[in-house]
Structure 1
Amino acid sequence: MDDEHTAEYTVPCAQCSAVDWGISDEGRFYCRSCHNVIERTREVVDLSFLKLSSRVSTIRGPRKKQAERGHVWMVCEGFQFILKNQADALLALGVHPQFKDDVLCPLWRCYLQKSRQAYTHDPVRSCKFRVRAVGSDLESASEGISCTDGESNPASTAGSNTENSGFWSGSSDTLTYLSARKKRSQSLLSMKKTLSLIYLALVWSREALTLSDLLRLVNEGHIPYLNAYEQLPEEMKVTGKDSLIFVVETVPSHHAVHKEAETLIQFLQLPAFPPISQQTLLHPALLSLRYLSDVNLPDELHPWVCRLLEHTGMMDQTLHTFDPHNHPTLPRYDVQAAALIIVTLKLFFCLDDMTEWHLSNDLGRQKDSGKVFNLRRWYKVMQAALIRAQERRDQNVSRKQWKSKKQIYPNKKEKCSMIKKKRIAEQVQLCFEKLASCPSGLQDVGPSSFIFCWGDEEESDGPSLHHMKLDEVVTRRYDFLTPLNDMYWHPALRRCLCYNSHYKEVEATLPRSFIWLLQLFAFMLDVKPFCLYEEVLSVERRIFDTRLYRGKSKANAGASAETAGASPEAQASLNTRTSPRRTRTSPRTAEASVGTRASHRKRQRSRKS
C-alpha cells in the first residue's frame, strides 16, 4: 500500500542516500533504511470527483461512545476569549499596541465588577445547573485578569456539580443568562455588546476608526464576530443552549451598536473621555477631509467645511467629547462629518433640483471648464462608481458563508442528523462551485478606510477630481469670498417632541439630488438615510436659529432671535420665508441686518413691558 503513494517520490534520503520510503501511521514519509522521518506527508484524497448522483452512505451498527472532556467554564470566560481575539485582530490592523491592555482590559474589568461576575465580595449566584464530564476538575478562579492572557479565569467563584457521564453540557451558567430576570437586566453581555465595548475603547484611545469602519471590518471578516466561538479553546465545549448566546448570523446595525454603547456607558458609569481636539482624527475637521477624498470632491471644499464648523461653534472639542455632566451623549463622529459636507454642498449648489444644474450648464459653456469643478460631471462619475460598489457588495454578501463550519448540537439525538445534513450540503456546494466558476478578475483585497479608489489606474473607480477649482462657483462680496449661490432651503427645523424621525413622511417632498446625496453617504457609512437626515437638521438648527437647536423652554422663551447666515463673511444676514414644504433664504445687506435685529429687540422689550 505504501508503494502506491511513494512510487513518485524519488528523492534520496538526506541521512543514508537511500531511496526506500514508507508511510507511518501518522501519514508522514520515513526512510526504511535509517528510519529518518521527513516533512513530506501523504496527499489527502479529494472528494471533488464525486458525481451528482453520489449518495451519502449510512454506517449502521454499534458504536463505542467516548467521553468528551473539557473544563468547567462560565459564559463571561467565553466572551473574554472573543474580546481578546477581536482586540488582537485590531492590533494586526494597526491599532496602537496599548489599546488592548491599557484601555480595553480596564473596561472589561469594570464590566465584570459592575455586573458582579468578578472582582466583588458579593458575586451573582447562578441558578440551578448541572455540569457533567468525565475526568474534568474544577479549576480555581484566578485572582487577576489580563486581556493578553486569554486563558485566565475571570470568575470569582464557579460552583458546579460533576457527575460521570459521556456528554459535555457546555458552559456552567447558561441557564442564568437565559433566565427571564437576567434578560431584562443590563448586565447581560451579548455579542453585540462586545462590539460596543470595542467601540468605546477605540473612542477612549482616540483611534482613527469610526463605528462605520468597525462594522465594515466585521462584515468583511477581518474582525471575528459571526463565528467567533469557533476560536475558543478545545477545552471549552460550546454545546446545547450556548448557541443562543454565542451564535449570531447577522451583524448589528450602526444605530443598534451606538445605542448599545450609550447604554453601556451608563451601566459602567464611566468618567469623562479624553478630549477630541482638532488634531484628533475623529474630529469633524479632519474626518471630513477623509470623506471629501473618498467621494471625489475638490480639496478646496475643505476650508469651507472648517468655516462652517467655526460658525456653528462645532469646532469646540467639548461638543465631541463625552462627559457625563457637560455632554452626556456619545457623538456619532462619522455621521456628523458627512452631514457637514452635505450642508456645505447645499450652500454652494442649493441642491433643489434646479440651481445646481443651472450652475453646471453655465460652467459647461466656458472654455476652461476642464479645470473647474462641475457638479454634473461629478454626479455622473459618482453614480457609475456607486452602482459598481453596490453590485460588489451584493456579490460579496451572496458569496459569504453565513453558516458556521463548527456546528453546535443542541442534544445528542439531533447530532447525527445534523452531521448528515452538513455532509450533503458540502457535496452540493462543491458541485455548485464547479458549475459557477469564480470571476477571473476577483481577488482578495486587504482592509481599507476608503470605499472608492480614484485615479488613472485600471482598477480605479474613475478619474480624480480632487484638484478641481471652485473659482467659478464663488464670488467676492463685502471683501469676502462667498458662494455664488444666494439661495438656501431647509425643512422645518423645529424639533419634534416625540423625538422620532419624520424622514419617511417628508421624503416625497425633498429634492431628488438631496436624497441621492443622502443615499451616497448612507452607503459609505452603512447607515440608514434617516440618520443622516436628522444630523443634517441638527447642523442647520445651529446655523439658522440657536433657540430651535436648544428646544423650547422657559429659559429662552424671551431670548432674542438672531438669524445667522451660512458663514459670517459669506452671508451677513438671512431673511427667511417659510413654505409648507421647506424654507428658502435670501441675503440682505449688513446694514439692513443690523437694523432688523435692533427693531426686533425693540419689539421684544415692548412685549415684556
Structure 2
Amino acid sequence: MDEEITDGYSEPCGQCGSVCWGVTNGGQFFCKNCHNVIERMKEVEDMSRFTVNSRISSLSSSKRKREVKGRAREWMICEGFQLILKLQAEALVDLGVCPQLKTDVLWIFWKRYMQKTRQAYTRNPVNILRGSAFTPQDQTSDTEVESSAAFSDASCHSETGSMMGASSVSGYSSDGRSSVCSGSMDAECYFGQKDRKNLMTMPRTLAFCYLALLWVREAITLADLLRLVSKGHIPYVNAHALFPEDMKFFGKDAMIFRVESIPSYSNVHRDAASLAALIELPAFPPVTPDCLLHPALLTLRYLMDANLPDKLHALVREVIQKTSMGTDSFLTFDPTERKPRLPCYDLQAAALIVVCMKLLFRLDDNVEWKLAKKSDEKINEMDHGKSKTTKRGGKMFSLRKWFMVVQPALERARKKEQQATAMQQWKSETPIIPSLKHKTVVLKRRLSVGTISVSWSLLCPGCTCGCWDSSLSCWV
C-alpha cells in the first residue's frame, strides 16, 4: 500500500540519502531506512466530488508538479520592480498626493528607464537572458515612451508581457535549471551583466518616487519620504511579500528584493540624481515662492516643529534674500545642465535656521548662555510686574528654557525611534527558500519558531502581540 502512495516520489532522504519511503498513520512520509519523517504528506481528493462507486486515489508527484506549473508563470526582475513602484505610488496617493503622480509622472519615468537601459520600449533590446533570443512581440518606437499610460493592474501585466517577449527559457523549466536558481527568469544572469551601475535596486524605487514628488511639487521632502517608509506607510521592507501567488519568489530573487534596513538619505539622493541623468529628464518645474518646497515656506514649517519663535522667520527671509537662495535658478533641478545639482530642500531649510540662530546667539557654547542669562533676568523682572512686554511689544525668548524643553523631548523621541527600529520585523513572515538544498532546514526552523512563539504566548498571556512578532525576527 505504501508503494502505491509513494510511487513517483524519488527524492532522496536528507539524512541517509536512500530512496525508500513509507507512510505513517498520520499520512506523513518517512524513510524506512533511518525513520526520518519529512513534511510531505499523502494528499487525497475530496470524496464528495466523485460518485459512490469511484475510489479514492492519491495525487502523484508528477501531477502536483503540473499543477505548480499551472499556477506559476514566467516573470522577470523588471516586472517585480514595476509592481513595487506601482504599490509605492498607490500608497503615496492614499496619503494625499495627487493621482497624477502615479499615472502621468512615475509611470512615464519608469518607461523612460526601461527604454534607456534597453530592457523594453526600444527597437534594439538588450539580451538579458543568456542563450535565449530576446525579441519583443510588440516592438514600440523610441518616442512612444513619451505618451501617457495608466499605471494599473492591467497595464502592468500587459506592458510586462510585451517587454518579456517570446522567450524559450522558463522559470519552471523541464530540466529544473531555472527553478533551482530562482523563481524569476533572469535573476541568475542579473548579477552577471557588465553595466551593473544602471541596474534597478530597491533603494532606486524610492529614488523614482522622490523624483516624481519633485516633479509634481508635493510638500514631501526626502526626509519625509524616508520617515514614511520607516513607519511602514510606503511598501519597502518585505515588499516581495505583496507579489501575486503566480510570481514565485525563490533563491537568488531574495538577493535582489529582500532588504533589512532603510537606505540612508545620501544614498537615495545620489540615486535620484543619477537616475535623472540616466533617463535624460528635462528641467523640472520651477520652485516658485508659492511652492511648499521653497525655503521661505519650508523654514516656517521647521520653525514651528522646533518650537522656535515666529519672529525668527523674518530674519530667515532676509538671509534667503541676501544669499539669493530663493531664486528659481537656485532651487530648480535641471538634469540637462553640464553639472546638474539636485537641491536638498530640507537640509537647506534647516541650515538657514541654524545660520540665523548663529547670527543671533553666536552658538559657541559661551555667548548664547550669557545672552540667555540676561534674558532670564528680564523675564523675572517682567514676572514681578515691572514690565509685561518688551519694548517692541512681544514676549521675551529664553534660549535656556527652550533648550530645557526641547532637549528632553528630542531624547525621548530618539529613544522611541531606536526601540521601534529594534522591534521592527525585518524578516518576512513567509520563509524565503535560498535553494532546494536548504528548503527542509528553513521550513523546520520556521516550524520550530512558530511552536516556541505559541508556547511562550501561553506562558505570558498578558504580553502584547507586537512584541512576539518582533522577537521572531531575531530567531529566524
Report the TM-score, using the length of structure 1 for normalisation: 0.58
- The separation in 1 between residues aligned to 2:356 and 2:308, in whole angstroms, is 12
Contact 1:141 1:156 survives alignment (8 Å): no
Residue deviations 1:196-239, cap 9 Å, x none?
11100101110010000001111111101111111111111111
In structure 2, the residue matched to 1:336 is 348
Give the C-alpha shift of residue 365 in structure 1. Answer: 1.4
* Structure 2 runs not aligned, ≥5 long: 1-35, 43-59, 389-394, 468-476
RMSD: 2.7
2:449 maps to which of 425, 448, 457: 425
Determine which structure has more spread, i.e. the larger CA radius of gyration. 1
Q: 1:254, 1:274 → 2: CA distance?
A: 23
Structure 1 residues 350-393: Cα deviation after superposition (integer angstroms, max 9, x where no partner): 11111111111111112226932100000010111011101111
Q: Displacement of 1:407 after TM fit?
A: 2.5
1:285 aligns with 2:296: yes
SS of structure 1 residue aligned to 2:157: coil
- The question of 1:275 aligning with 2:286 is answered yes
Return the alpha-carbon distance in structure 1 between the equivalents of residues 117 and 297 of structure 2: 37
Instruction: Say whether the 8 Å CA contact 1:318–1:327 is kept in structure 2.
Output: no
- Asked if structure 1 preserves the Cα contact closer than 8 Å seen for 2:183 and 2:251, the reply is yes
Match of residue 164, structure 1, among 174, 178, 181:
174
Q: Could you say if the C-alpha distance between residues 226 and 157 of structure 1 is closer, same or farther in structure 2, counting changes exceeding 3 Å?
A: same
TM-score of the pair, normalised by structure 2: 0.73
> Is the alpha carbon distance of 1:322 and 1:354 closer, same or farther for their aligned partners in structure 2, counting shifts above 3 Å?
same
CA distance in 2, matches of 1:231, 1:339: 39
CA change 1:60–1:202 in 2 (3 A) is: closer
- Letter aligned with residue 88 of structure 2: Q
Give the structure 1 partner of residue 328 of structure 2.
Answer: 317
1:173 aligns with 2:189: no
1:70-469 correspondence to structure 2 within 5 Å: 70-128=72-130, 146-149=150-153, 150-154=156-160, 155=163, 157-162=165-170, 163-164=173-174, 168=179, 169-183=182-196, 185-186=197-198, 188-323=199-334, 324-325=336-337, 328-366=340-378, 367-368=381-382, 371-431=395-455, 435=460
> Per the alignment, do residues 220 and 58 of structure 1 end up closer, same or farther by CA in structure 2, a change over 3 Å counting?
farther
Q: 1:353 to 1:431 in 2, by over 3 A?
A: farther
**5+ residue gaps, structure 1:** 1-56, 131-137, 443-609
> What is the percentage of aligned positions where both structures have the same residue?
43
1:61–1:178 CA distance, 2 compared to 1 (3 A): closer
Q: CA deviation at 1:240?
A: 1.4
1:99-118 Cα offsets, whole Å, 9 max, x none, are 11111011011001001111
Give 1:386's aligned amino acid.
Answer: L
Specify the SS of the correspondent of 1:179. Answer: coil
Deviation of the 1:141 alpha carbon:
6.5
Q: Deviation of residue 438 (structure 1)?
A: 5.4
> Which residue does the alignment assign to 1:532?
none
Q: Would the alpha carbon gap of residues 61 and 161 (structure 1) be closer, same or farther in structure 2, given more than 3 Å must change? A: closer
Partner Cα separation in structure 2 for residue 387 and residue 286 of structure 1:
27
The 1:247/1:192 distance shift into structure 2, 3 A limit, reads: same
Relative to 1, partners in 2 of residues 1:271 and 1:120: Cα closer, same or farther, differing over 3 Å? same
- Over 3 Å counting, the alpha-carbon distance change for 1:358 and 1:238 in structure 2 is same
- 2-structure distance, mates of 1:175, 1:318: 45
Q: Is the 8 A contact 2:431 2:446 kept in 1?
A: no
**Amino acid aligned to 2:111:** R
Does the CA-based 8 Å contact 2:237-2:258 persist in structure 1? yes
Q: CA deviation at 1:337?
A: 0.4
Aligned to 2:53: none
Native 8 Å contact 1:292 1:298 kept in 2: yes
Aligned to 2:4: none
* CA-CA distance at 1:180 after TM superposition: 4.8
